Structure 1
Amino acid sequence: MKPLEGLKIVTVEHFAAGPYGSMYLADMGATVFKIENAVSKGDPARKMGPYFLGENDSLVFQGWNTNKNSIALDLKTPQDRAAFLAIVRSADAVMNNLRGDQPAKLGIDYETLKAQKKDIVCLHISAYGRDNSRANWPGYDYLMQAEAGLMHLTGDPSADPTRFGVSIIDFMTGTVGVLGLLAALRRADKTGEGCDVDVSLFDVALHQLGYAGTWYLNEGLESNRVARGSHLSVSPVQTFTAQDGWIYVMCMTQRFWELLLDKLNRNDLKDDPRFGDQNQRSQNRDALTEILDIEFAKAPTAFWLQEFRGTLPIAPILSVRDALENPFVAEVGMVADVPHDMRPDMRLLANPIKFDGQRLRQSPGNAFGADRCHDVPVSVDQVNK
């Protein structure tokens, strides 16, 4: 039994943040009814190329929508609004990732839906929130990385500000959102009353500043990009040049630093006053980088991975292809076969959660409008009864 079997979620979602979060709920066994716009023919992610699976489906869409049902509705028409409310009455939660001013206009917030079901939980994932001057602003992941200071911290100091390579804020916000939703559902079980749960891309992006944000708020320290993808305050935690490519080494503790010197036969550096502790090593990072580059360039990546295996944190820097073809990925089962009617050999990234040592099974997201609830009415009159 999957842990969320029996839970019913209705979601009005598109693109990444909402679908990524609800995908976890669906993979863990919840019945997820994805409400797709009947007028625009569904989630725009269905039309995101370059690879498609027949009409109105894509590999992008499948990557975020496993195990979900699809119901095509136009929530602005009385007939489809009635159908939506019927589904809500049988559901545990309603979630969306619309612009902040839209849930109230569409009547998918708790204030509106509590008349249908007192204990319904409503999750709102928006760009900037629903209760401020930007409630009606559209917004996307990369904008948040820019304004929250994350791009300022990413990349080489001599290069332009750089975004994270994937939509990490969308994925983080979706995950944080469903965490809040599950917490609210637990409270609803205890109290019999639902609520609104709000999570915004901007808030989550700002929260990712972590200790850089804490340092500024308390000490006024303005962190900046550091060469070689280095940690802001701990060294050596950065890239180095092996004989055949790049590696990343993380000496997060004094013990790891001393192990590194032992393995490199450079115990002479233990007595170098420039490198005595983390603070000194960070202040003299450039000099230390020059020394360690020479040492790591003496052997290829495979040698260093074997030399440090299980003792010192180290990883190769791989391309997307090499990352997915890594034998360790196959060993842990992080690529799953998910046969699709239009692509029997479709493979997706597996869900990273395991229960009792087993990964969650995935099935393709359903075709646009393929599903109907048995309790969806065929007319407004039936709802009014």
Structure 2
Amino acid sequence: MKPLEDVRIIAVEQYGAGPFGSVHLADLGAEVIKIEEPRSGGDVGRYVPPYGEGEDSLFFETFNRNKRSLSLDLSTDAGRRVFEDLVKVSDVVYSNLRGDVPKKIRITYDDLKHLNPAIVCCSLTGFGMTGPRSKEPGYDYVLQGLAGWMDLTGEPDGPPTKSGLSLVDYSGGFVAAISLLAGLHAARRDGVGMDCDVSLYDTAIGLLTYPATWHLNAGFEPVRTSHSAHPSLVPFQAFEASDGWFIVGCAKEKFWTRLASVVGHPEWAEPGSGYGSFADRARNKDTLIPLLEDVFRQRTVDAWLGELYAASIPCGPINDVEQAMREEHTKARGLRVTTEHPRFGTVEQLASPVRVGARPAEYRRAPFRNEDFDLVVREIAGYDDATVERLRAGGAFGDAAVPPVPPVPPVPPGSAEPAESARAEAGEAEAASR
């Protein structure tokens, strides 16, 4: 069996952070049943441009492979009945909504424990379910600013800078997955479930790590460093060669001794040189770094990396995305995987970095909206035809109760159609509820 093949998760999720956390669990074999609100067209991620057509987008494919989809309107009594019946036969209710929403729509442990005492309710919200900001929507960009990340990032004389990736969202997804698994372990051991109150804000603050510890205990005031230099280890930063940029870092004294030799100045590593120790180099970095910069500009990136690799000095090129995808190590680690999609044809994307055991992960395309209707309502919930019709008449499934849409011929990914672009913009407002 796959590591999580005996786990069933009801995922009331949308967009990025929540689906990113659960996709790794799905890759590990968990049955993730994605609940999609039918009135708004389901997960807003389905409509994110520029690479999308209709209800399919490469953005959605990235975060939702290996999952199941059910259109379900939780605001109706009939939809609520279906949800509660699924809770009875599931292990986890996982959501990423605004902090006050889980209680409003009754998906916390106190709301569900009478149905399943061992249910784990993991809520990944913007700011948590308590505190003065709990009712605010949380977005990665806002949180990178609020938690101090942008103040730490960029050149000293430049503006505050966001990370090129949505790292608060993605880190929050990982934190939620860890919390969920810990809660599940405890519930199976003790027979009692719980709430897991996880937030993007907590994640972002927690990732300040040692600079925050330094500040709280020694009054450290972080400052931005030129060329992404490490705040205390010198040299450890980006350097410009004659044809591009690369990273070199001396995290141990032995690396500095080797680097001094490689750049033709072994005397720089000697005691008394002013650069012979961590403390010396930190104190005299304003004179040392310009000297190194002058040396590194004299040769190409490949020439320097060849010597640095040979000397076992930590280093590497500064790749663009294309170069990172072409790296030999990317291929060797099996990080590029494919799925087949009726609209996009063969879709290539990235494997989960979560590795458990020797069995390779298997990848299935993301589901069409409501594709798994029969599997979920008939096999898992156990409804007969008459019950399904009564629930449908009660509005449980909205207008999307017929599974699945017929496959369409493959077409090249393109910009979203104008109507879909407008729908995506409307979806942004819906996504603000998380």
Q: State TM-score, norm by structure 1.
A: 0.95
Tell whether the 8 Å contact from 2:108 to 2:195 is kept in structure 1 after alignment.
Answer: yes
**SS of residue in 2 equivalent to 1:345:** strand
C-alpha displacement at 1:172, in angstroms?
0.4
Give deviations 1:152-194, integer Å, cap 9, x for gaps.
Answer: 1111011000011010010001101110111111111111000
C-alpha distance in 1 between matches for 2:358 and 2:250: 31
Classify 1:158/1:57 alpha carbon distance in 2 versus 1 (closer, same or farther; 3 Å). same
Task: Give the distance between the partners of 1:245 and 1:118, measured in 2 at CA.
Answer: 59
1:357 is displaced (CA, Å) by 4.2
Corresponding residue number in structure 2 for 1:94: 93
Deviation (angstroms), 1:276: 2.2
Q: 2:118–2:187: 8 Å Cα contact kept in structure 1?
A: yes
Instruction: Provide the residue aligned with 1:251 in structure 2.
Output: 250
- Matched to 1:18, the amino acid is G
Q: How many residues align?
A: 379
Which stretch shifts more, 300-309 or 71-80? 300-309
Name which structure has the greater RCO, CA cutoff 8 Å, separation 6+: 2
- Structure 2 SS opposite 1:347: strand
Question: For 1:107 and 1:51, how far apart are their aligned partners in 2?
Answer: 35
Instruction: Give the CA deviation at 1:316.
Output: 0.5
- Cα displacement string for residues 233-265 of structure 1 (whole angstroms, at most 9, x for unaligned residues): 111010111121000111011111111112222
Tell me, yes or no, if structure 1 residue 189 matches structure 2 residue 194: no
> Counterparts of 1:358 and 1:214 in 2: how far apart (Å)?
40
**In the alignment, which residue of structure 1 is the partner of 2:277?**
277
Q: After alignment, is 181-190 or 308-317 more displaced? A: 308-317
Report Cα offsets for 1:276-310 as digits up to 9, x if no partner.
21122123223222111122222211122222226
What residue identity is the alignment partner of 1:257?
W
- TM-superposed CA distance for 1:36, in Å, is 0.7
- The offset of 1:358, in angstroms, is 4.9
Q: How does 1:1-385 map to 2 (within 5 A)?
A: 1-52=1-52, 54-271=53-270, 273-309=273-309, 311-372=312-373, 373=376, 374-376=379-381, 377=383, 378=388, 379=390
Q: Deviations over 1:18-65 (max 9, x none)?
A: 10010011000000000011110111111001001x421100011111
Sequence identity, in percent?
Answer: 37
Whether the 8 Å contact between 1:352 and 1:359 is mirrored in structure 2 is no
The runs of 5 or more residues in structure 1 that have no matched partner are 381-385
Cα-Cα RMSD: 1.4
Check whether the contact 1:86–1:375 (CA below 8 A) recurs between aligned residues. Answer: no
Kept after mapping to 2: 8 A contact 1:353/1:359: no
Q: What are structure 2's unaligned runs of at least 5 residues?
A: 392-434
3-state SS of paired residue (1:11): strand
Deviation at 1:328, TM superposition (A): 2.5
3-state SS of 1:354 partner = coil
- Amino acid aligned to 2:225: V
Aligned AA for 1:154?
Answer: T
Q: Structure 1 residues 21, 320: CA separation in 2 closer, same or farther (over 3 Å shift)?
A: same
After superposition, give the CA deviation of every residue in 1:187-223 in whole Å (9 maximum; x if it has no partner): 1111100000011111110111111000001011111
Q: Does structure 2 conserve the Cα–Cα contact (< 8 Å) formed by 1:9 and 1:33?
A: yes
Which amino acid in structure 2 is aligned with residue 203 of structure 1?
D
Could you state the TM-score of these two structures normalised by the residue count of structure 2?
0.85
* SS class of match (2:346): coil
**1:273: Cα distance to partner?**
3.5
Distance (Å, rounded) in 2 between the aligned partners of 1:22 and 1:246: 36
